[in-house]
Amino acid sequence: METIFLIDKTVIAFIAFAITLLIATYSTYAERKIAAFMQDRVGPDRAGPFGILQPLADAGKFFFKEEIIPDTSNKFLFIIGPGIAMLTALMTSVVIPWGGSLNFAGRDIPLQVADLNIGVLYVFAVVSLGVYGIMIGGWASNNKYSLLGAVRASSQMISYELSMGLALIALIMITGTLSMKEIVEQQHGMNWNIFYQPLGFLLFIICAFAECNRTPFDLPECEAELVGGYHTEYSSMKLGFYMFAEYINMFISSAFMASLYFGGYNFPFMDSLGLSQNAITIIGVFVFFLKIFFFIFVFMWVRWTLPRFRYDQLMRLGWQWMIPLSLLNVFITGLVLLWYDK
């Protein structure tokens, strides 16, 4: 029993890992295509039909590029930086419930690597480690632009993590659980949390943009001022790792938004279709990925619409708007809960 359980989990972990990497790879392609369409261009279309092999060509290019490690850098930290960024980006996918459970030869296999009872808290712990990859990489480069980018990244992430956490606290007050699986299951039958927490969701998605260093909060990279920010000195696949970690973060945070606020793998009329449990689960996985893709599209849509915030505007928005608003959200949620308890 124990070995079968381990095999199940290993297989699911590997599949989740592979899918995460695949989607992160093709996000780069999607980003370039969406950018092109929004600017009335065609986008990459040379590698394969519709340029579908472009991400592979990019990855190949990254591997063959010359590896430059600055002479004055702290070599150990310089090398470990992109690794940390990648590791923390990938670790969060553990608690995402990708689907219901598959009934396989009399055994229920839940499509989730680990159903931690503190799933949301775990995500927070790992996400807040994510800043170390950027901070260490930027600091170890021994370059003032990298350092500025890293300082910006860390202060931005710390500021926006607060209101992100507060937005989630309101959600947890409603759900009464920290387990991702239970939160998703409570949203069964169009009982989505977005209807109960619209303000919370708005705060969460804005904070997610900031946490992923995406436009309009991409000040850590900021090509215009910081020549690339924290990864100025990076080249070859190390640069690729940073870029890749950004896209993985984007995918994971889309998955979180979909599962926390938009019902995860639940879809309307899933009980009245009269399908077997396995079929429902498989459709649910597809629905979940559709939701994720929608949010990835929103990420890119916003990126190619909005200009970058100025740094003081970013800080003012974070501390003077986001945090009071999320506190207000917590307060209102508490009042409403008290009212209904009575």
Partner 1 sequence: MQLTNRSKVVSNKEMTAAESAYLPAVLKGMAVTLKHFFRRPATVKYPEETREFSEVYRGKHVLKRDENGAERCTACGLCAVACPAEAITMVADERKKGEEHLYREEKYAAIYEINMLRCIFCGLCEEACPKEAIFLTKEITPSSYEREDFIYGKDILVEGVEADKRIDISKRQDR
Residues in touch with partner 1 (CB under 8 A): 34, 36-42, 45, 301-302, 304-306
Question: CA triplet 43, 28, 132: central angle to 5 degrees?
Answer: 145
Phi, psi of 101 (to 5 degrees): -125, 145
CA distances from 273 to 107, 282, 319 (A): 23, 13, 47
Give the CA diameter of the chain: 67
| Rg from Cα positions in the chain | 21
Nearest approach in angstroms of CB 25 to partner 1 is 22
The encoded tokens of residue 294 equal 């929608």
Burial of 268 by CB count in 10 Å (0-12 exposed, 13-18 middle, 19+ buried)?
exposed
**Residue recorded with tokens 């055994």:** 107
Q: Least distance in Å: CB of 215 to partner 1?
A: 12
Q: Which of 241, 245, 293 is nearest to 89 (CA)?
A: 245
Q: Helix, strand, coil proportions of the chain in percent (round to 5)?
A: 70, 0, 25
d(CA 187, CA 168): 16
CB 315 → partner 1: shortest distance, Å?
15
Q: What's the closest the beta carbon of residue 41 comes to partner 1, in angstroms? A: 5
- Least Å from the CB of residue 229 to partner 1: 24
**Least spacing, CB of residue 144 vs partner 1, in Å:** 31
Q: How far is CA 274 from the centre of its chain?
A: 34
d(CA 222, CA 308): 8
Q: Which is nearer to partner 1, 39 or 72 (CB)?
A: 39
CA 250, chain centre distance (Å) = 4
Quote the least distance from Cβ 152 to partner 1, whole Å: 20
Task: Give the residue with the Cβ less far from partner 1, 36 or 47.
Answer: 36
